[in-house]
Amino acid sequence: MNVLILGSEGFIGSHCVHYFLKKGFNVFGCDLLDYPTQEYNYTKISRINPEFNILFESNQYDYCVNAAGNGSVPISLEKPL
């Protein structure tokens, strides 16, 4: 089974990556960071041009976890959307 994790390098996303890898899933992650990895399929995306089409044109997913968000708690509370 395939799972896509948006925000795979953040706190929640990275825990999701490890959870699904342990369960035997094919994990596909994306985030804003340069993070080459052999553990799972990773795609760097940009805030300016997120290129989400690339993610969905190349694979089909059984599950999608959206763990993307602002990494700063104070900013998230000040500007939640």
The domain of 18 spans 2-78
Q: What pLDDT is recorded for position 9? A: 92
Q: What is the pTM of this model?
A: 0.82
At 49-73, the pLDDT tens digits run: 767 787 888 899 999 999 988 878 8
Number of domains within the chain: 1
- Check residue 38 and report its DSSP letter: S
At 1-15, the pLDDT tens digits run: 999 999 999 999 999
The CATH code of the domain that includes 44 is 3.40.50.720
pLDDT band for position 81 (50/70/90)? low
Question: Could you give the CA distance from residue 47 to residue 60 in angstroms, rounded to a whole number?
Answer: 23
User: Which residue type occupies 9?
Assistant: E
Q: What pLDDT is recorded for position 61? A: 96
Site of tokens 């553990």: 39
3-state secondary structure of 26: strand
